[in-house]
Amino acid sequence: MTLPVLALFTVTLLWGLAAAAAQIRCVDAARAGARVAARAEPVASAAAAARAAAPEGARVSVTRSGELWRVTVEAAAPGPRGMGLTLRADAAALAEDTVIEGPP
């Protein structure tokens, strides 16, 4: 009885580590896309940069909200059908064409 419980624990632990690694990739992808968008490069370039860093099959959206570029990356968690979990990361960057007024 101990062996099946140990095997289940090991599989669960490995799945958790894989999910954590995929979440980190989503965060990195969102940041990469936001940096590219903030440099006033085309939206397609920002989305491509995010997709390149994201886990396979991730959905990427790039939007501008006022002075901020927002990039959202969503991907299914690794494992059989993502085990019903969706990983999500958002990043925002101030557009470089924004003029910030303040004291001289």
Contacting residues for 86 by C-beta, under 8 A, at least 6 apart = 74, 75, 76, 77
The model's pLDDT over 34-81, given as tens digits with 9 standing for 90+, comes to 999 999 999 999 999 999 999 999 999 999 999 999 999 999 999 877
Please name which of 75, 81, 93 lies closest in space to residue 21, comparing C-alpha atoms: 75
Distance CA 97, CA 78 (A): 38
pTM of the model as a whole = 0.84
- What is the rounded average pLDDT of the residues 79-89? 83
Q: Which amino acid is at 13?
A: L
